[in-house]
Structure formats: C-alpha cells, structure tokens
Amino acid sequence: MTRTILFDSPFLLGFEHTRDLIERAAKAASESYPPYNVEQAENGGVRITLAVAGFSPEQLQVTVEGGQLIVAGKRDAEGRSEAERAFLHRGIAARGFVRTFVLAEGMEVQAATLEHGLLHIDLARPEPERLIKRIPIRSAG
C-alpha cells in the first residue's frame, strides 16, 4: 500500500489517524466481492446492502471493530467435495469473503437483516452535540 504523501507533510501534525482512515478506505474499495449498494436512508442514516445469495444467517457475521464495519461470510462444505462435482458452467461464486467499511465516528449499526439473498445493514448517524466552548482571555499584566 502506498502512503499518502499529503499527510506526510511536516506542517500537518497529528493527522496520522486521518491518513490511516484513507488507507483503510482505499483498501476496502479495492475489494469486489460480494457486490454491494450504499444508500441514504430517510432518517438520515445509511443502508448497506450486500448480495450474499446462498449464505444462511449462520454463515454470515457482522461486527464493528476499531471504527470498521466488518462483514464476513464463510461457506460450509456442501455434501460432495469440490473435486467430486462436475460443473458444466460455474458462474456462482462459492467462496467466503470479508468486506470492510470504514465508519465515521459515532456511526452505529442498528440492525442486520437477511432477505431474499440480500444482507441489509442499517446504520444510524446520531445528531452531533453542538458544543460551544468559550475560551477565557487572561490579562498579561
């Protein structure tokens, strides 16, 4: 992974976290399986939908760790081994996956629902507190 040169400037101090977020987002964007949609929800939240046809709820795992949403799918062996099966055409992926999404601070997973081969993950973005901090001015004399 190439480092973002912009954040290596000596004039940008304390931006290591931002650089790490950009690098994680770039890595996540390079993944292509399974396909997914991200849509704005009516309540200001976000819905991520992944196409996970053939996976059962027991084969899927949704976790949040270190500011990342991690969706993993693990295939169990289905009856005959892959070597014993003779496919004339194989267009359906039969592999496990791990897909990650970098979450903004404060984003919360509300629910995960598997419906018709689609895994819907609903996220909420709580309203930020609007804090005004007044800085006292001291007299130098």
Cβ atoms of 28 and 101 within 8 Å: the answer is yes
Query: Average of pLDDT values for 71-82?
Result: 73
Nearest to 25 by CA among 48, 4, 56: 4
pTM: 0.68
Q: Does domain 33-79+87-124 have CATH number 3.40.190.10?
A: no
Confidence at 12, pLDDT banded by 50, 70, 90: low
Q: Which residues is 97 bridged to in the sheet?
A: 73
* Average pLDDT of the residues in 113-139: 88
- Going by pLDDT thresholds of 50, 70 and 90, the confidence category of residue 76 is confident
Map out the domains of the chain as residue ranges: 1-30, 33-79+87-124
- Work out the pLDDT band at 132, boundaries 50, 70, 90: confident
**Rounded to whole angstroms, how far apart are CA atoms 44 and 55?**
29
User: Distance between CA 29 and CA 25 in Å, rounded?
Assistant: 6
Cα(97)–Cα(26) distance, rounded to whole angstroms? Answer: 17
3-state helix, strand and coil shares in percent for the chain, rounded to the nearest 5:
15, 30, 50
pLDDT at residue number 17? 63
Q: Which residue has the higher pLDDT, 95 or 121?
A: 121
**Closest C-alpha among 107, 97, 101, 109 to residue 28:** 101
